Structure 1
Amino acid sequence: MFLSRAVFVALWILLGLLLVSVFFPFLALPGRSAVNYRWSRALLFLCGVKVTVRGEPRLRGPALWVSNHVSWLDIFVLNSVRPASFIAKSEIRYWPVLGWLVAGSGTVFIERGHRHAVRRVGHEMKARFAQGEVVGLFPEGTTSPGLDVAPFHSSLFDAAIRAHVDIQPVALLFFHRGRRSDYIAFVGKQNLLQNLWRLLGATGVAVELEFLPAMASAQCEEQGRSKVAAHAHHLIRQAVARRHGVRPS
């Protein structure tokens, strides 16, 4: 099973590199989105990951999706519902192969620690919203085992508030053989290849996306970014804890 999965995944990733390098420059946004959607769904299938969607995702018009962050898979899981432009730390750009893929598909990279990084990314987000895109943000700033949610950074919420777009919290819940698990969480000292190796050798991997009620732009503007980020964090943490059987404090 592992060998056949590894071969098919490798071939599929090579096809993805061909698409983003050769064809994407000539495709309009709807065409790139369609390819991104189908490619992501096929990748998850080849990796043996079952995806279940709960709630009502915002499928049309601009929006900001904010989610907890567990794995490099998160981008493709969300793309399998609706292709998004993601905000990611600049280190991901230099990941072997997958870094090229996410860069070619329109990811916006943020140089953490640079003085004007947030302002530059905010302008990029505004441009994506103006095209009617959904932007994906992982406000924890790093991955976690997925059984709780770390505090959110609120700075990039401001771009969505200023653009007058709705903000929808999304809870990502990872399962292994029917139980909530951190088995394939991309944490600790493991590298990308080690994590992929573990995933391809596993069975019974599933991800649930729970799309929580969207926060209206007018409400967000009235509350300000700190309160909006805190409310989104509260909703996602509740959803994560509810399926884990633990009530958050």
Structure 2
Amino acid sequence: MSLLRYIVRLAIVAVMVVLGLLIIATVFPFLGVKTRAWANRTWSRTLMAVIGVKVLVRGQPCLDAPVLWIANHVSWLDIYVLNSVRATSFVAKAEIRRWPVIGWLVAGAGTVFIDRKQRQAVQTASQAMRERFARGEAVGLFPEGTTSPGFDLRPFHSSLFEPARHVEVMIQPVALRFLYRGQRSDYAAFVGEQTLMGNAWKVFRTTGLAVEAVFLPPLQRHDDQGKVLDRGALSAQAHRAILAEIREPAHAPAAGQDVPPVS
């Protein structure tokens, strides 16, 4: 049964990918920001439904203003989980651009790629982020720089907090908590020596996967004396908030809600 499920899901996703790439290549450049956002959300929600990953939203995501979402990084699914809530332009390491299929899709959806081997990488990415904030968009950042099993948090790189801090855009931490058949689990984590196709095999063939997207309160920009916090202090504040949440046990199903309707 699991093999049949995998084949069916893979076939549907393959069709979605082909259609998505065609749309990105032919239609996307001519669409307005709102229409592109609607298409991005719809595609991501459809993908989650097809592969059987339930997305539960907790907290109050910022849905109608420019925002920087700071999230822990567990899987290639993270991008589509957050996109199912709100169309988001992600800052991602340059090697993702070379991933088959996913790299093409996220590039077409407006991902900002950063190659830290390049001297001007941070400045280039920062400028791209400011342009997206100016258009009222959401930007997603995984400041760990790599994936983890999802129960702990690696140190954050703080440099790309600066564009949002500089233009006073809301910075909202997001804790991604993966569950497998009702229990916290690293089943879907894309870590270690796994290949993308190997991880997809695990995800596509099973049932009972869910992700809690916990939207935490926006970061405070000032300390107790009213001093404006620098990017290092903001990074540390986000790290503490997300770490506390991902170390919590699974929440009761009723604590979450399905992603908001597409509008």
Alignment partner, residue 141 of structure 1? 145
Cα distance in 2 for residues equivalent to 1:234 and 1:218 = 16
| Amino acid of the structure 2 residue aligned with 1:178 | G
Corresponding position: 1:41 with 2:31 = no
For the residue of structure 1 that corresponds to 2:75, the secondary structure is: coil
State the percentage of identical aligned residues. Answer: 53
Cα distance in 1 for residues equivalent to 2:221 and 2:37 = 24
Unpaired runs of at least 5, structure 1: none
| Amino acid of the structure 1 residue aligned with 2:37 | S
Corresponding position: 1:85 with 2:89 = yes
CA deviation after TM superposition for structure 1 residue 173, in Å: 0.3
Cα distance in 2 for residues equivalent to 1:181 and 1:21 = 37
Cα distance in 1 for residues equivalent to 2:181 and 2:13 = 21
| Amino acid of the structure 1 residue aligned with 2:211 | V
Alignment partner, residue 98 of structure 1? 102
CA deviation after TM superposition for structure 1 residue 221, in Å: 7.8
Alignment partner, residue 112 of structure 1? 116
8 Å CA contact 2:179, 2:250 repeated in 1: no
For the residue of structure 2 that corresponds to 1:102, the secondary structure is: helix
RMSD in angstroms over aligned alpha carbons? 1.5
Alignment partner, residue 213 of structure 1? 217
CA deviation after TM superposition for structure 1 residue 113, in Å: 2.3
Corresponding position: 1:198 with 2:217 = no
Alignment partner, residue 258 of structure 2? none
For the residue of structure 1 that corresponds to 2:249, the secondary structure is: helix
Question: Per-residue CA shift, 1:110-132, capped at 9, x if unaligned?
Answer: 01122211011111111110000
Corresponding position: 1:66 with 2:70 = yes
Question: Per-residue CA shift, 1:10-43, capped at 9, x if unaligned?
Answer: 1111111111111101111111100000000000
Cα distance in 2 for residues equivalent to 1:11 and 1:243 = 37
One of 154, 166, 170 as aligned partner of 1:166: 170
8 Å CA contact 1:126, 1:159 repeated in 2: yes
Corresponding position: 1:234 with 2:228 = no
For the residue of structure 1 that corresponds to 2:132, the secondary structure is: helix
Cα distance in 1 for residues equivalent to 2:220 and 2:84 = 24
Unpaired runs of at least 5, structure 2: 252-263
Alignment partner, residue 153 of structure 1? 157
For the residue of structure 2 that corresponds to 1:80, the secondary structure is: helix
Cα distance in 2 for residues equivalent to 1:112 and 1:185 = 24
8 Å CA contact 2:219, 2:237 repeated in 1: no
8 Å CA contact 2:175, 2:245 repeated in 1: yes
Alignment partner, residue 21 of structure 2? 17
8 Å CA contact 1:164, 1:218 repeated in 2: no
CA deviation after TM superposition for structure 1 residue 243, in Å: 2.3
8 Å CA contact 2:55, 2:210 repeated in 1: yes
8 Å CA contact 1:165, 1:216 repeated in 2: no
